[in-house]
A and B are shown apart, each in its own frame.
Chain A
Amino acid sequence: MNNTITIAKQQLTAAEGLTGIDQLFAIIALGQFLLGRGFIVLSDVQAHGALDDQGVLDAAKAHDAEAAEAWKALSNG
């Protein structure tokens, strides 16, 4: 629990730069995003059990392409 609190303080120190409702909206938006991503990650990882080797390899290629796209979006600003 102490670790979680420390983590929370470190991770969202940047949010201190915002004020009032902007700060709250930013934290809510981030929370929604991460919650959604958490479910997607769970479902992607759980899919391993149902796929054969080739299926996992194909999934890995698809996830790799998504990672490359995400990097492209980040690097282009």
Chain B
Amino acid sequence: MKIYKQLLRGACLGVITFALLVTSACWGGASASPSHKLISQLDNNAIAAREAQLTLKELVDLKLFAQESAQALGGKVEGFRAANRQLIDFADSPEFKSVGPNGERVITFTVAGKIKAEQLAEILKTTAQAVLASKDLFPNISDAARAKWTALIQAVDQTAKLAIQLINQLKTKPNTPTAFVIAPADIELLNHAKEAFVE
């Protein structure tokens, strides 16, 4: 009986670790475009939040984890999910996806939109750090997986800085001082900045 119990314990934890590694390590495939990798990461974040909440609920139902502790940790995951949802909506907005007649990407990054992007990047980083700091939440997460999450947080910060630098260097469109037109060559630079999300 003792051996079976140990096997079951190993299997349980193996699956948890595997699921976390999958959701934290897969950024959408090596051949995917930068934008595809970016939104794939947003989807991975949503999947990871869902799995964290479902696992916490199951642990409570099985009386393996206290309700109060689960709700406290779940609240932090919920903050991460909410910030991630804002980024999903932002990525799905016309501003993010608009393409001009000559192939240029016309990002109508209004001043408000630019501030929003900076704020969202900061919110996501802060909430992700709060989740990571809760070692009780994922006591089983490997050091390698934790390092990947930490690298992602740093990449988010770096990407936000690169994007802001790029936007600041772009000329504003005549008569529309709050909009930016990004030429195809500059799109490459922006895509390079986005790569920081996935490396």
Which residues does A use to contact B, with CB under 8 Å? Answer: 3-5, 7-12, 14-15, 17-18, 24, 26-31, 33-35, 37-38, 41-42, 44-45, 48-49, 53, 56-57, 59-61, 63-64, 66-68, 70-71, 73-75, 77
Q: Please, how many angstroms separate the alpha-carbon atoms of A3 and B175 in the complex?
A: 61
Q: Please, how many angstroms separate the alpha-carbon atoms of A8 and B15 in the complex?
A: 11
Using Cβ atoms and an 8 Å threshold, which residues of chain B touch A12? 9, 12-13, 64
Which residues does B use to contact A, with CB under 8 Å? Answer: 1, 5-6, 8-19, 22-23, 26, 28-29, 32, 35-36, 39-40, 42-44, 46-47, 49-51, 53-60, 62-65, 67, 70-71, 74-75, 77-78, 81, 84-85, 88, 91-92, 139-140, 142
Q: How many residue-residue contacts, CB under 8 A, span A and B?
A: 166
Q: Chain A: interface secondary structure?
A: helix
Check B42 against A60 for contact (C-beta < 8 Å). Answer: yes
Check B44 against A57 for contact (C-beta < 8 Å). Answer: no
Other A-B pairs, 7, CB within 8 Å; known A4-B14, A11-B139, A68-B81:
A4-B10, A5-B10, A14-B59, A31-B11, A34-B55, A37-B15, A73-B57
Check B15 against A31 for contact (C-beta < 8 Å). Answer: yes
- Contact of A63 with B47 at beta-carbon distance under 8 Å, contacts A71-B53, A74-B60 already known: yes
